[in-house]
Structure 1
Amino acid sequence: MSEAQNEHESPIKTPKQLIAAIVAGFVVPIVIIVLLVNYVGNAARTGAGSSAMTEQSIAERIAPVAKVEVKDASAPRVYQTGEQVYKAVCAACHATGAAGAPKVGSADWAPRLTQGYDGLLKVALAGKGAMPARGGTSPDDVSDYELGRAIVYMANASGGKLSEPAAPAQPAAGASAPTAAAAPASGDTAAAAAAATAMASLKTAAPAAAGGSSADAGKKLYDTVCMACHASGVMNAPKFGDKAAWAPRIKTGMDTLHNAALKGLNAMPPKGGASTASDDDVKAAVDYMVNAAK
């Protein structure tokens, strides 16, 4: 009888045991839930803004704005290959046929190949249609010889059989840089003069004054350089006057747009390829396009 009675007796015999059981009934499940949540969400988390303190981010912030590169004027110049110049300068239009440029590898080159190397080089130096003189490059950055190599590369990739131009003579020891670069590689003085005239139109304009000279400079740079892509919207360039395309870009602020134009963005090279244009003229061209899209 006593054994049966013990089986039915509660293990809780005192008030203290009852309180302890109640507390354990609440606390233990809560502890288990907390442990499970911590286990499931145990992945490492990166605090908001912590990426700004990485070594790379800090190095980028304290990096100098400009760098001085000292070159030996008497050292032999290392020339770019035709393919290198094509990829860096010409591909923006000639890879897609933008703005009427003959697409590399297409039949568009057939009538142009009849001009021969000298005729093609003359057009490249002076500019034609939407293409600025020298493709928007500076003689200090891309020589006539390098432009000629790019022409040969594009022409031969499009069915031509042009020969590589002869490399210019390297300056003799002690010769000054201006003397070494005085004669154009092509030997065509008329083409060189035309190129110089065309490039002069892209150089720094007079400072803005009353009468809207800054706006004129912006329109001039757009008409000679920017329209190659922005007039038709090729290469994802926002089309001139297209409010929908420009709206999200305008929201980023004019400083952002100016910096993108000066430093380059995606397929657009720095200054749109007009390396001789001043920063103020490039900004004026951006302002001109933005105003047309408002």
Structure 2
Amino acid sequence: MSGYNQSSSIKELIIAIPGAIIGFTLLVSILAYLFGVVGGEKAEPSKEATEAAEQKVVANIQPVATVEVAEASGAHVEKSGEEIVKGVCIACHGVGALGAPKVGDAGDWGPRIAQGYETLVKHAIEGIRSMPARGGNAELTDHEVADAVAYMANQAGAKFDAASLKK
């Protein structure tokens, strides 16, 4: 037989567990007291520190920018198709973004040119697939959009006349 006594092991365990819990609690309490986490008097901040903190808060909540709304301009100055293409359309049609036909690429424009000038203008004004209406510039007139379509399509070999849609 072995010299192992199970009843003395249980007694030792019953004493050891509460002892470990009490010891751990004392250790945490002493450390908390030493580092000032628990209890103790709280020092009132000085008047200067309070004012400095208030000034910092006021500085932090100041607006970082302002918005100035432009006043409505007088008459709309109409732009040429070339100006519109270079200022608006080139953002997508320059690189072929989202399947846009590239300016000057006859392969991209061929099937579209075959649809006819009026259809292309209608798509440009109303928007089609990923292209927003008026190329995303709501200020463009129908005539300006038509001029831009003619300019881009003509760069790819079409012979459209923007004046043909003028009324």
TM-score range for the pair, normalised by the shorter chain length? 0.5 to 0.7
CA distance in structure 1 between the aligned counterparts of 2:164 and 2:68, rounded to whole angstroms: 36
What SS class does the counterpart of residue 131 from structure 1 fall into? coil
CA distance in structure 1 between the aligned counterparts of 2:144 and 2:117, rounded to whole angstroms: 13
Match of 1:157 in 2: 155
Match of 1:111 in 2: 111
- Cα shift readout 1:130-168 (whole Å, capped 9, x = no counterpart): 111221221xx1111101110011000011100023686
Alignment of 1:186-205 (within 5 A): none
What SS class does the counterpart of residue 165 from structure 1 fall into? helix
CA distance in structure 2 between the aligned counterparts of 1:110 and 1:71, rounded to whole angstroms: 39
1:71 to 70, 73, 78: 73
Query: Post-superposition shift, 1:71?
Result: 3.2
Rg: which structure is higher?
2
Q: State the AA in 1 paired with 2:94.
A: A
- Cα shift readout 1:56-110 (whole Å, capped 9, x = no counterpart): xxxxxxx9731543433xx5x4211111111221111111111111111112101
What SS class does the counterpart of residue 114 from structure 1 fall into? helix
CA distance in structure 1 between the aligned counterparts of 2:72 and 2:133, rounded to whole angstroms: 28
Which stretches in structure 1 are left out of the alignment for 5+ residues? Answer: 1-62, 169-184, 186-294
What SS class does the counterpart of residue 160 from structure 1 fall into? coil
Q: State the AA in 2 paired with 1:87.
A: K
- Cα shift readout 1:214-260 (whole Å, capped 9, x = no counterpart): xxxxxxxxxxxxxxxxxxxxxxxxxxxxxxxxxxxxxxxxxxxxxxx
Q: State the AA in 2 paired with 1:101.
A: A
Answer yes or no: is 1:93 the counterpart of 2:92.
Answer: yes
2:146 to 145, 148, 153: 148
Give aligned pairs, total: 102
Match of 2:54 in 1: none
RMSD value, Cα: 2.3
Alignment of 1:4-19 (within 5 A): none
Answer yes or no: is 1:137 the counterpart of 2:137.
Answer: yes
Identity %, equivalent residues: 46
Match of 2:82 in 1: 83
CA distance in structure 2 between the aligned counterparts of 1:67 and 1:129, rounded to whole angstroms: 32
Which stretches in structure 2 are left out of the alignment for 5+ residues? Answer: 1-64
Query: Post-superposition shift, 1:119?
Result: 0.6
Would the alpha carbon gap of residues 78 and 113 (structure 1) be closer, same or farther in structure 2, given more than 3 Å must change?
same
What SS class does the counterpart of residue 111 from structure 1 fall into? helix
- Cα shift readout 1:171-200 (whole Å, capped 9, x = no counterpart): xxxxxxxxxxxxxx7xxxxxxxxxxxxxxx
Q: State the AA in 1 paired with 2:98.
A: A
Q: TM-score, normalised by structure 2?
A: 0.54
Would the alpha carbon gap of residues 128 and 70 (structure 1) be closer, same or farther in structure 2, given more than 3 Å must change?
closer
What SS class does the counterpart of residue 158 from structure 2 fall into? coil
